A and B are shown apart, each in its own frame.
Chain A
Amino acid sequence: MENAFGQPQNVVVLGGSSDIARALVKKLCAARTHTVVLAGRNQDLLDQAAAEARDYGATTTHTVLFEATEPLDAARAVAVCFEVMGEPVDLVIEAVGLLGKQLEYEDDPTMAATMAVVNYAWPVAALAEVRRRLVAQGHGRILVLSSVAAIRVRRISYLYSGAKAGLDRLCDGLADSLEGTGVTLQIVRPGFVRSKMTTGEPEIPFTTGVNEVAENILRGLASGQRVIWSPPILRYVFFALRHLPAPLWRKVANR
């Protein structure tokens, strides 16, 4: 069960080897989390993440394999996660994502579709199953890793950012739909984060490390705010950027 400070005990991570998710799970385990189910595509990486969770205080970990290119498999993956947990799930972290090499993909319809499936269709399908299960349970939290890129889509990453934009907007409605169910959904919008997903990408202002993102998420879990920005200042930065005229935006975004 979750305690008065929003610290969960039983956590499921979809996209369990994501760097942000790993940094967050470490911190959760150092507080109250004792059982972690890590789901993802690469068994070795999941095993590493699981060992790390145990190092930081988890008593039980499980791993579950799935392919995010197959949205029709999402419900099964989620069901397996809940079943291996065997107890009420307090927090589901949805951290599946693929940044990819946009410039190589943008004229390739198959790869463009894959980007949309992994970053949007699979998470949406998974969230439908998560929603159903948590609502039946009577309590729980969902944390969806979105991105500031969803707020204003850049030319350089429109396949990724566009899909995240869809997910981010959908989650706003999904969160509203949970009113009165005992379940809540929070959206995380990190800025540019140094991680394996972004190695090689040029850094931009307000770049942070995964630990800082994890720290901001922990605060957000405690306060219950709908959108968790990381760093928090980006809330205001993106309020401004969203309304920037297109030619100016292109200049800023292409820097």
Chain B
Amino acid sequence: MRTRLTGWGRTAGSLAELTTPTSEDEVANALGAPAVIARGLGRSYGDAAQVSGGLVLDNRGLDAIAPIGPDGLVTLGAGVSIDDLLAVAIPQGWFVPVTPGTRRVSIGGAVAADVHGKNHHVDGSFAHHVRAMRLVTPSGVHELSPEREPALFWATFGAMGLTGVVSEVTLQLLAIESDQVLVDTDRYDDLDAVMAAMVEGDARYRYSVAWVDCMARGRRMGRSILTRGDHAGSSDLTEATRVAPRGARLAVPFSAPPGLLNPVTITAFNELWFRAAPRHRVGEAHSISSFFHPLDGLRDWNRLYGPRGFVQYQFAVPDDGAEAVVTAISRLSASRVPSFLAVLKRFGDADPAPLSFPQPGWTLALDLPVGPAALAPLLDELDELVVAARGRVYLAKDARLAPSTVRAMYPRLAEFAALADTIDPEHHLTSDLARRLRLREG
């Protein structure tokens, strides 16, 4: 049966056969199809985990979790979600070394996008914590690690599924003493102030992220809330509990009418959000959910954007390109294209993966409803700005880049494509994303 698939942004859907292999053999057989790609929980925003007219392998059948070793090493199937893993790990005193802003991503998806968390400036991206993995390709199963077939190991991080299907990952977990995070919160009235504070102080915190109000204009342009913290130790709390987060209690039952999220409602929301934050607060205990995954409390919140969906624009620029962050926010705020609070973060060192997104400097992510005619050309302009600053856009969020811009943003794409050809010369592995951006053509 063919199924219509889209990414989290609910744009540019396409139909494909969907199957759920439960073993490496089944995956290997499926890779014989003329066009095939893996899919996790569909949390990438664009067209990465779909292939029109082809075969999509739902990775949720690969769901085994082996016992966590005393050293915090765990071997698990690529279809296990971070949510599932935390349910097992937190009570035993372990946490995932890197978590995106939602727990509802699969380990396979975390590898394929080489995801980053609020701790990238300290701990790097997901790849940094993977000790070994198994990759099923059209040319057989590869056992990969930084020592064994390092080129293919690294190429798989950020490859968006185009080197094959990850079946199993061995991950180094992080020891924690409680399920609480101690958080310092500060409010800043403009962008320069928050960026200065992050440059100066982020090194003192494991986790750091700023929320920027892109609807505020004039003097308040770029006003922000900076939250930074680290896991609470047992001595920090009167009683250290280790309870895994629970599922969403609320859901958005159906697609909202078009235009629910417009400049007026979004400005109002941002105003409330900003006012609700304390000007300065130190050492407040937050739960893991509220600190890391605030959006997970509302299931299917992407439906709020209505039938036309939304895009997320996330880019990274080096420190000497910080001006691009300021320009992007001021253009957006001037254009009145509505955007929910934007997320600003500092990135630490990049890993050696050719298509991995993070690079040292800044990253900014913006959620934008599809609708305003000004949006497509505005984002094309921002692409130019990002390229000029030697930055890049995150493929896991993309639904609109052009093939030429991707080549400027990811100069190692040709090297990547050549490597992918060695394991898949006939180009079985492809996706709507790969076709749109010609990722297999180098």
Query: A residues engaging B (CB < 8 A)?
Result: 1-5, 7, 9, 31-32, 34, 87-88, 136-139, 180-182, 219, 222-224
- Known contacts A88-B435, A180-B4, A219-B373: does B12 contact A4 (CB below 8 Å)? yes
Q: Which residues from B are CB-within-8-Å of A137?
A: 52-53
Tell me whether B204 is interfacial, beta carbon within 8 Å.
no
CA distance A9 to B371 in the complex (A): 20
Q: Which residues from A are CB-within-8-Å of B298?
A: none
What are 21 A-B residue pairs whose CB atoms fall within 8 Å in the complex? Answer: A1-B47, A1-B436, A3-B436, A4-B12, A4-B46, A4-B309, A5-B11, A5-B370, A5-B376, A7-B400, A31-B376, A87-B435, A88-B52, A88-B435, A137-B52, A138-B52, A180-B4, A182-B13, A182-B52, A222-B370, A224-B308
Least Cβ–Cβ distance between A190 and chain B, in angstroms: 19
Q: Which residues from B are CB-within-8-Å of A182?
A: 2, 4, 13-15, 52
Return the CB mask of B397-412 against A: 1 if under 8 Å, else 0. Answer: 0011011000000000
Closest 9 CB pairs of A and B: A4-B11, A4-B399, A138-B53, A139-B14, A1-B436, A182-B15, A138-B15, A138-B52, A139-B52
Q: Which residues from B are CB-within-8-Å of A2?
A: 12
Q: Which residues from A are CB-within-8-Å of B182?
A: none
- In chain B, positions 1-17 with a C-beta closer than 8 Å to chain A are 2, 4, 9, 11-16
CA distance A182 to B4 in the complex (A): 7
Tell me whether B83 is interfacial, beta carbon within 8 Å.
no
CA distance A120 to B54 in the complex (A): 34
Instruction: Name A4's contact: one of B15, B53, B311, B403 (CB within 8 Å).
Output: B311
Least Cβ–Cβ distance between A3 and chain B, in angstroms: 4
Q: Which residues from B are CB-within-8-Å of A224?
A: 307-308
Tell me whether B213 is interfacial, beta carbon within 8 Å.
no
A32 touches B402 (CB 8 A): yes
Q: Which residues from A are CB-within-8-Å of B402?
A: 32
Tell me whether B432 is interfacial, beta carbon within 8 Å.
yes
- In chain B, positions 204-243 with a C-beta closer than 8 Å to chain A are none
Q: Which residues from A are CB-within-8-Å of B16?
A: 138
Q: Which residues from B are CB-within-8-Å of A32?
A: 402
Tell me whether B375 is interfacial, beta carbon within 8 Å.
yes
Q: Which residues from A are CB-within-8-Å of B2?
A: 138, 182
CA distance A171 to B411 in the complex (A): 46
Q: Which residues from B are CB-within-8-Å of A31?
A: 376
B376 touches A136 (CB 8 A): no
Q: Which residues from B are CB-within-8-Å of A222?
A: 370, 373, 376
Query: B residues engaging A (CB < 8 A)?
Result: 2, 4, 9, 11-16, 46-47, 52-54, 307-309, 311, 370-371, 373, 375-376, 399-400, 402-403, 432-433, 435-436
B15 touches A181 (CB 8 A): yes
Q: Which residues from A are CB-within-8-Å of B400?
A: 3-5, 7
Least Cβ–Cβ distance between A138 and chain B, in angstroms: 4
Least Cβ–Cβ distance between B124 and chain A, in angstroms: 30
Least Cβ–Cβ distance between B403 and chain A, in angstroms: 8
CA distance A32 to B375 in the complex (A): 14
Interface centre among B15, B309, B436 (most CB of A within 10 A): B15
Least Cβ–Cβ distance between B380 and chain A, in angstroms: 8
- Known contacts A88-B52, A138-B2, A139-B15: does B47 contact A5 (CB below 8 Å)? no
Least Cβ–Cβ distance between B384 and chain A, in angstroms: 15
Least Cβ–Cβ distance between A238 and chain B, in angstroms: 24
A9 touches B53 (CB 8 A): no
- Known contacts A31-B376, A87-B435, A219-B373: does B12 contact A1 (CB below 8 Å)? yes
Q: A87-B435, A182-B52 are in contact. List 19 more A-B contacts (CB 8 A).
A: A1-B47, A1-B436, A3-B399, A3-B400, A3-B436, A4-B12, A4-B309, A4-B399, A5-B370, A7-B376, A34-B403, A88-B52, A88-B53, A137-B52, A138-B53, A138-B54, A139-B432, A182-B4, A219-B373
CA distance A3 to B308 in the complex (A): 12
Q: Which residues from B are CB-within-8-Å of A1?
A: 12, 47, 52, 432-433, 435-436
Least Cβ–Cβ distance between B418 and chain A, in angstroms: 21
Q: Which residues from A are CB-within-8-Å of B15?
A: 138-139, 181-182
CA distance A137 to B432 in the complex (A): 12
CA distance A1 to B54 in the complex (A): 14
CA distance A5 to B47 in the complex (A): 13
CA distance A71 to B351 in the complex (A): 59
CA distance A31 to B376 in the complex (A): 9
CA distance A34 to B405 in the complex (A): 14
CA distance A223 to B372 in the complex (A): 10
Specify the chain B residue showing the minimal Cβ separation from A87: B435
B52 touches A4 (CB 8 A): no
CA distance A76 to B375 in the complex (A): 39
B435 touches A223 (CB 8 A): no
CA distance A3 to B307 in the complex (A): 15
Least Cβ–Cβ distance between B9 and chain A, in angstroms: 6
Q: Which residues from A are CB-within-8-Å of B47?
A: 1
CA distance A148 to B53 in the complex (A): 35
Q: Which residues from A are CB-within-8-Å of B370?
A: 4-5, 222
Q: Which residues from B are CB-within-8-Å of A180?
A: 4
Q: Which residues from B are CB-within-8-Å of A5?
A: 11, 370, 375-376, 400
CA distance A2 to B435 in the complex (A): 10
A9 touches B46 (CB 8 A): no
Specify the chain B residue showing the minimal Cβ separation from A88: B52
A136 touches B53 (CB 8 A): yes
Least Cβ–Cβ distance between A112 and chain B, in angstroms: 41
Least Cβ–Cβ distance between A67 and chain B, in angstroms: 31
